[in-house]
């Protein structure tokens, strides 16, 4: 059973590395995980790619169609939103799904400050083009301050470039409310496949615990609360993350 991981912003696939090391340790019999990088986020941004919410949904569906069997899909940040959008449209492509941002689809979800700055009517483009600034050391320090472990932050920051800035700008503008709330009207369809909503209690970007919890119920997903962990839980306590995921997959096996 393929296991596929999709990350978000402002990330590259290196954000998964500590978690994947732990997964190999606790579940060595599982096939090697596959990391998919959304265009612009550790992968080239093709000319003509619109980088909208719908474009990324279609991109992920296209990637999943390449597999010979349904996958266990795990999404973080925007990757978690792409995961749910793909599952709502094509549940046949997954065996199970995991997302840590189900609250984005709650009708009361309010975007965080960075997103609002990109969505502002007076905004004319990503500024600066490298989303967290041109200085590498400053980018690393910002990621660490926001909760990413320093070793991972150093690897991720290297991949933050002008293409990521352009992609993020287009993506956030395409998702200004009420867009996400409207997409969330179909969230019940995600219940057609087993789902897991991860609720990191210190994540200040993914909506309130109440918003995440009630959206998980609507999506038919079980929930696991990650007490004391933030947005980058997979770098803060990868061992706990690996145990939660393997327990969920084992329950799907049964």
Instruction: Write the pLDDT tens digit of every residue in 27-54.
Output: 998 989 999 999 999 999 999 999 999 9
* H helix runs in the chain, sequence order: 17-26, 53-64, 78-89, 113-119, 136-145, 150-158, 162-174, 179-183, 209-218, 233-236, 238-253
Interval 147-174 mean pLDDT: 96
Are 216 and 187 in contact by the 8 Å Cβ rule? The answer is no
Task: Give me the percent of the chain exceeding a pLDDT of 70.
Answer: 99
Are 55 and 81 in contact by the 8 Å Cβ rule? The answer is no
Q: Other CB atoms closer than 10 Å to residue 122's CB: what's the count?
A: 4
Q: Which residue has the higher pLDDT, 124 or 82?
A: 82
Number of domains in the chain: 1
16: CATH:
3.40.50.1820
Domain that holds residue 29: 3-253
């Amino acid at each position: 059973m393929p296991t596929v991981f999709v990350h978000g912003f402002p990330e590259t696939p290196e954000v998964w590395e500590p978690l994947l090391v732990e997964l190999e340790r606790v579940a060595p019999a599982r096939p090697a995980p596959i990391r998919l990088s959304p265009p612009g986020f550790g992968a080239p941004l093709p000319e003509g790619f619109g980088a909208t919410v719908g474009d990324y949904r279609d991109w992920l569906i296209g990637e999943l169609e390449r597999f010979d069997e349904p996958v266990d899909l795990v999404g973080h940040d925007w990757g978690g939103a792409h995961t749910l959008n793909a599952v709502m449209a094509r549940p046949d492509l997954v065996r199970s799904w995991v997302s840590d941002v189900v609250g984005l689809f709650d009708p009361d979800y309010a975007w965080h400050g960075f997103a609002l700055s990109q969505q502002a009517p007076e905004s004319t483009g990503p500024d600066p083009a490298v989303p967290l600034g041109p200085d590498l050391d400053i980018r690393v320090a910002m990621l660490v301050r926001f909760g990413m472990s320093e070793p991972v932050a150093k690897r991720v920051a290297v991949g933050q470039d002008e293409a990521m800035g352009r992609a993020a700008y287009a993506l956030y503008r395409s998702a200004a409310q009420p867009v996400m709330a409207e997409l969330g009207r179909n969230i019940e369809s995600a219940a057609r496949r087993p789902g897991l909503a991860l609720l990191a209690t210190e994540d200040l970007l993914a909506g309130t615990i109440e918003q995440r919890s009630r959206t998980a119920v609507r999506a038919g997903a079980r929930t696991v609360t990650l007490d004391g962990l933030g947005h980058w839980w997979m770098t803060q306590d990868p061992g706990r993350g690996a145990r939660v995921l393997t327990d969920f997959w084992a329950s799907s096996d049964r």
